[in-house]
Chains A and B, each alone.
Chain A
Amino acid sequence: MLMRLGLIRGIIGGVIGVLLGMALAMIIRLILGMELWSAAPVSAVAGICGTIGFMFGVGGFTAWLKWARGIEVGDDHYHPQEGIPEWERYFGFDLNHKVIGIQYTVTAILLFMLGGTFALIFRTELAQPDMQFLNLAQYNTLMGLHGIVMIAAILVGVGGMANYLTPLMIGAQDMAFPHLNAFAFWLNIPGAALVVTSLFTGGFDTGWTAYPPLSLVAPLGMQFFLLGVFIVGLSSIFGSINIITTILMMRAPGMSLFRMPIFVWGVFATAIISLTATQFIGLSFMMILLERLFNMPFFDPSRGGDVLLYQHLFWFYSHPAVYVFVLPGLGIISELLPVFARKPLFGYKWVAISSMAIAIVGFLVWAHHMFTSGMNPGLRTPFMMTTLLVAVPTGVKFFSWLATMWGGKMTFETPMLFVLGAFLVFLLGGLTGPPNALVVTDIQLHDTYWVVAHFHYTMFGGFTFAFMAFTYYWFPKATGRMYSEFWGKIHFLFMVGGFLTLTSAMFRLGLMGMRRRIGDYDPTVGFNNWHLLATIGGYLVAFSVFVWVVNLVLSARRGTVAAANPWRSRGLEWQIPSPAPEHNYETVPQVVGEPYDYGKEPAEDYVTFNPSPAPAGD
């Protein structure tokens, strides 16, 4: 029975891959006349081969290899199999985008809890000055792991939202490339495993940014971190190819680009960034690996290398990446506000175009992370100007959201509360950005807790709150049941209270001069109480996450059965039964109107399921 689960077969394949990889590396070393065992190269090959082994075991290559040999591939992976319980689909290589979307979403929540646990551990250590139960090296590793595990969680969470919703929202049966879709999801499992392995192989003391030269001399854990992120990035690239193709090629008849649900615009902009920028973080991490393993001196100034080159390559991805994290979440806000305000989205086209504008301008701002780095000082002013321009399309979104609420008839169910929370938190995240953009004040704020607080606001507002709204709002669509509204509101209250406590203390600390990424601080500077407050806030957030997860798990089993369209939404996905049928739409939906025409007199449909084309002229 266990062997039927793709996950178990994947793990076995992974172990075999690791062993074969070690053998391969040692044989090569033997042939080259080197000492048989050397931890770094042997474990690097083992990590790569383990990933390939896992993907073989889970079934990622099965269909492709059959196609390559000209063998007919059945659609076994497409339908729930006779006599096999439904839950097993979620532990194997399943091609249905809704299964994959839920796999992504659950994996994201698990990674969140892991990353949050790392944060709680070192947040507890920071509650008081001096080292209580961690040493400085352990602090650095936990802090770096918190960062990268949360980034992976967000990327996987974005994958969850995009994969579950995009085909449903545009009236498609599935994603354009179902095999690639499943393959991209399963890559995250060995990727995350490699990242976590760094904890047991000496850790790494560079934070998630992995700046050389420090990352060149960091312990073995660094190498697992680099490999793991590389593989998660590969998943991101595959996923974005799929999303772009699906959106461009598979929309229902009548759904022009400007009739797409606004969330799909956000996902589209995100996928363009992921597809074109992820290579740069892969490249920069690969260069560090090559310098570590083969002594290629890319970043060694004494041998013609350049330390700052890395930072340019790294931020060329890693700044646009923050828009990968937030654009789908901002799409969720734009998507849900009209439903709960019972009004059209104000300025639909402006909101849609603003996502694309953010994506494009986002490529031109990377060096604002480097104002104090020692790059040519003349570059600082141009990068400050481009950075400031990001405020303009972001402002368009905020004002359009306010105008969407104006004159509405709002109700405040849990998803709407999280949307309003996201609005408030992202607003504060956005407004605390310009002091970092403006060079003069950034020189003071760079690498302080101000920056830490600022990006936590943008990530929580742009992603976390929106992702939580997503899990509540589409919960009936995915499970056919309703979550508990009471516990949803408890979750919201603790989340908002805890988060604001945590991050307000961080802002205060940053302005006082608290550096980021230090495991210990001077007890005489006045930081102590603020750190204690931040730690209390952190525990409140952790409690709220616990409430969230328990609510979702228990409601999935025992919640009241949901109506097909509990939100009276106009969206395509709510016009079909809940949970959504295996192939989404029995008949091809015809899009005949605007997505958010709530309150229009006389009422007009967004979509009809009439097999004959809708009469022209609406």
Chain B
Amino acid sequence: MNKFIAPIILTILIAALLLAFFDNVNLLPAQATVEAKSVDGLFHLEFQLISMIFALCLGFLLYSIVTFRRKPGEEGEGQHFEGNVTLEAVWTLIPTAIVLVLGFYTATQLNNTTMADDNEVPIHVNGIQWSWLFTYPMYKEVGTVSELVLLKDQPIRLVITSESAVTPVIHSFWVPEFRMKQDAVPGVTSVLHFTPDTVGDYRVVCAELCGTGHAKMVAPVHVLEQTDYDAWLVAHGVVMGTNSEAQTSAGTEATAEATTEASTSATTDNSAAIAAGATLYTTHACIGCHKADENGTQTVGPSWIGLFGSEVTLSDGTTVTADEAYLRESILDPSAKVVEGFPDGVMPHTFADTLSEEDVNNLIAYIESLSGN
């Protein structure tokens, strides 16, 4: 038996090193949900098991390479033995037992981390090419927003799907710090249950390849304390402490964040057109590529902030003024004039069929309102 002592010591040494590594180095992102703790517990168990099995194989492999190599001048063949049924049975049955136990344990953990909570609050998530849109059924005044704002310690039920007037494709909702991922599938409604428990700013990214702008499909997530959360709701038109239904006025269902800003800066006779354009901006998925936030974020397509009336450099090097005629042409025939630095062929050529003359006018009015003149 003593010939097994050296490789076993080697195995234990390697295992100890690896276990110490995984005990002391955190390889995962921060934890921001209650569920993340259970998930990371399982990760740790997996890393420990991997360390031990890897050490066993590597220990014996290294020992064999050193000990059972042909020394210079040595003749002859290796020892002749063809197998050992007991050994084969042992290394068939023990791994079977390990994986079955691991499987059952994980099944119970899965049950714990995907359980619904009685107090959970629904939030609807829609993935479009290439943005995340969130609606709060409990606060209709908020409308559709492109950031996910959550209350700390409030259990959440995310209702996730992929609906788009343009091209509904599969996306996948993933916040690494939440340890939660769920595909947004056209025709399927999926649900995620979790409780955020750490205040902070995170990002929801799309984890399922969804086309050209996949890499850019990122939206901010904020987990807030009660006071900040209430302030956010108020800023989005929710009147605290009254019946929110009473506050709902016609057309606010899909009113984007930008609408409020836009309508204040626009003349009154134009405000209906601007509001209608703002609605179309979301429903026809313009928001997917053309951002209208104050920072003027450029993603897959040019930002609409300050676009109207500006000088635009095209891919052929010429410049053009972004007037009404240019915008109309770019909506209806996107390939006619392509802005420098942005790929051609990404924007659908279908808007001539899906938008009416009035829709296009409303959209242009909305774009004009974002230029603040």
Contacts and interface: CB of A to CB of B under 8 A. Distances in A.
Given A217-B167, A342-B77, A372-B182, A389 B99 contact: yes
Q: In the complex, which range does the number of interface residues on chain B fall in?
A: 35 or more
Nearest to A428: B54
A49 B77 CA distance: 58
Contacts of B70: 342, 409-411
B110 interface: yes
A407 B103 contact: no
B43 A410 contact: no
B19 interface: no
CB-based closest 8 A-B pairs = A301-B187, A599-B77, A513-B176, A343-B78, A408-B78, A518-B215, A407-B79, A388-B99
Given A372-B183, A374-B182, A409-B70, A441 B78 contact: no
B69 A412 contact: yes
Contacts of B206: 515
Interface in A108-143: 135-137, 139-140
A374 B183 contact: yes
B168 interface: yes
B219 to A, nearest CB: 13
A546 B184 CA distance: 43
Contact of A434 (B46, B88, B185, B187): B46
Interface stretch (B90-98, B140-148, B275-283, B361-369): B90-98
Contacts of B183: 372-374
Given A403-B87, A599-B80, A441 B168 contact: no
B317 interface: no
A26 to B, nearest CB: 24
Contact of B211 (A205, A344, A398): A205
B65 interface: yes
Interface stretch (A14-22, A155-163, A419-427): A419-427
Contact of B209 (A214, A302, A343, A398): A214
Interface string A386-416: 0011011001101110110111111110000
Interface stretch (B56-64, B225-233, B306-314, B325-333): B56-64
B113 interface: yes
B39 interface: yes
A392 B170 contact: no
B65 A420 contact: yes
Interface in B22-80: 27-29, 38-39, 42-43, 46, 49-50, 53-54, 57-58, 60-61, 64-65, 68-70, 74, 76-80
Interface string B244-283: 0000000000000000000000000000000000000000
A443 B207 contact: no
A410 B103 contact: no
Interface of A: 135-137, 139-140, 202, 205-207, 209, 211, 213-214, 217-219, 301-302, 305-308, 341-350, 372-374, 377, 380-381, 384-385, 388-389, 391-392, 395-396, 398-400, 402-403, 405-412, 420, 423-424, 427-428, 431-432, 434-435, 438-441, 443-444, 446-448, 508, 511-513, 515, 517-522, 594, 597-601
B209 A517 contact: yes
Interface string B189-217: 01000000000000101111111111110
Given A346-B81, A384-B107, A424 B185 contact: no
B174 interface: yes
30 contacts: A136-B213, A136-B343, A140-B209, A205-B212, A214-B170, A307-B170, A343-B78, A344-B81, A347-B84, A350-B83, A350-B92, A389-B99, A392-B95, A392-B99, A395-B95, A400-B88, A403-B83, A408-B68, A409-B69, A431-B50, A434-B46, A435-B43, A443-B179, A446-B181, A508-B27, A512-B27, A513-B29, A515-B207, A515-B215, A601-B80
A341 B78 contact: yes
A440 B181 contact: no
A307 B170 CA distance: 9
Nearest to A394: B95
Contacts of A428: 54
Contact of B92 (A140, A202, A396): A396
Given A381-B110, A599-B80, 5 more contacts: A137-B343, A374-B183, A409-B74, A434-B99, A438-B46
B187 to A, nearest CB: 2
B82 A447 contact: no
B321 interface: no
B42 A307 contact: no
B110 A217 contact: no
A213 B186 contact: yes
Given A374-B190, A411-B69, A424-B61, A441 B39 contact: yes
Q: Which of B170, B174, B209 has the most CB of A within 10 A?
A: B209
Contacts of A345: 82
B305 interface: no
B46 A136 contact: no
